[in-house]
Amino acid sequence: MRPLFEISRSSSCGAGVRLEVTGPLISLAAGCALDLLVLARQDVRLMATDMVHFEATHRADEFADGAAIASFLAKNEGRIEVVPTTIGQLALPELKRQLAAGERVSMPQDLGELSITNFVISIRQANPGDPMLVLMEDDWL
């Protein structure tokens, strides 16, 4: 089995899947290490759920790590897929409305984590053999 991360961009291995949660993104941003994520082989799909993307970027103008994450995601939008989820479809319209109206966005607890759980369940049903690495904060589980 080949390692998930390597400098070489060539690969004969099947595609893997990787998900980021806001907590690890914040930690990597604080350590100026977000670019480590894009060192994954090109056949490894880098993904963030719609809710994780929103959580990580909607207050980018208020926090240095949020600005770094928003810039990183924008710079790598061709490499990091934003995956729509049922949780995002239910929650994002109201959250985006609040943001557009200049209101403080009222984020229900654990929406990012729930969106990842939603995505993992759906991908396990559709592609049960695809390998997956999920980055999450260990204190949440």
E strand or H helix at 20, and its extent? none
In a domain, 66, yes or no: yes
Range of the domain at 87: 17-124
In a domain, 55, yes or no: yes
In a domain, 3, yes or no: no
In a domain, 49, yes or no: yes
In a domain, 89, yes or no: yes
Q: One digit per residue, pLDDT tens: the chain, 141 residues?
A: 334 333 333 334 445 545 556 778 888 888 898 998 888 888 788 888 999 999 989 988 888 888 999 999 999 998 888 989 999 999 999 999 999 999 999 888 888 889 988 988 888 777 666 666 677 665 544
In a domain, 136, yes or no: no
Which two structure tokens, joined as six digits, stand for 88?
């995002």
E strand or H helix at 2, and its extent? none
Own/partner pairs, 81-86, CB within 8 angstroms, 24+ separation: 81/45, 81/46, 81/47, 81/48, 82/47, 82/48, 82/49, 82/50, 82/53, 83/47, 83/48, 83/49, 83/50, 83/119, 84/50, 85/49, 85/50, 85/51, 85/115, 85/118, 85/119, 85/122, 86/118
In a domain, 138, yes or no: no
Please tell me the total count of domains within the chain: 1
Q: With CA atoms as reference, report the closest residue to 84 among 76, 72, 92.
A: 92
In a domain, 115, yes or no: yes
- The domain that holds 90 is classified in CATH as 3.40.50
